[in-house]
Structure 1
């Protein structure tokens, strides 16, 4: 549980800070969408659940190796996690459309990474989208 002390323990400046708050909440949201507990994700990433909790609460900034491990466990591209962390350019600034090599847009990825949606909206959209695919 976050307390006022947790807030004061957060770094207030540095190169990660503009995106730091969104990175932890993004990781937590993706973990919840994957229906994983912290302990389950810790087992999948070989990172302690205490450290994962601190990452989600923006108390620590994960290394690239840890971010790759988290991305694999969440079944999202590492590039998406790096973009969320502000380490790489967004698709818009990189000049790509979010389409894969075949030209198809990865709709589930777009839904999961859209910062304008809350968790309930993401789950609802994913459910509807998957139901359309199941009918084919």
Structure 2
């Protein structure tokens, strides 16, 4: 009988005897648990059963269960299918799974991406508008300190 912890349930404390390969396995396993728990919480928030989501996402019920329990790490394609089934942005799942790097912190962006009422298209349009306003404000803030008028300032003057 082995006294070593299960790699999925490994402790968060560093092990001096762990080599780089062991640490990499632990990181991957933690990511699998994190994405699985997130998918489960989003599924429950959307009041969708495991069976319903597996049908919506086009993956088997046992496989989805393994993902939610952190036993399997889904591919980007499977994450996209799950996101579609949950009406989430695939970007949210990619970031949670460590496939994409998280953009600058934004509570607005995060709220829009996890909203279960909006469609993917609506989320994208809303985020595009939000990003446009943010860029415009950054430009205006920088240019407002200089003597150069901005296009935005010209629009405001009658």
Which of 33, 39, 42 aligns to 2:54? It is: 42
- Determine if contact 1:16/1:85 at 8 Å carries over to the other structure: no
Q: Which residue of 2 aligns with 1:108?
A: none
Instruction: Note if 1:8 corresponds to 2:2.
Output: no
Instruction: Note if 1:103 corresponds to 2:130.
Output: yes
Shift of 1:10: 3.2
Shift of 1:26: 0.2
Q: Which residue of 1 aligns with 2:63?
A: 51
Shift of 1:36: 0.6
Q: Deviations over 1:5-55 (max 9, x none)?
A: xx8373861662342221110000010011011110111111111110000
Q: Which residue of 2 aligns with 1:87?
A: 99
RMSD: 2.6
- CA distance in structure 2 between the partners assigned to 1:30 and 1:79 by the alignment: 14
Bigger RCO of structures 1 and 2 (CA < 8 A, at least 6 apart)? 1
Structure 1: gaps of 5 or more residues = 1-6, 105-136
Count of residues in Structure 1 that have an aligned counterpart in Structure 2: 96
**TM-score, length of structure 1 as denominator length:** 0.61
Question: Looking at CA atoms only, which structure, 1 or 2, has the larger radius of gyration?
Answer: 2
Structure 2: gaps of 5 or more residues = 11-24, 110-125, 132-158
Change (3 A) 1:31 1:68: same
**TM-score, length of structure 2 as denominator length:** 0.53
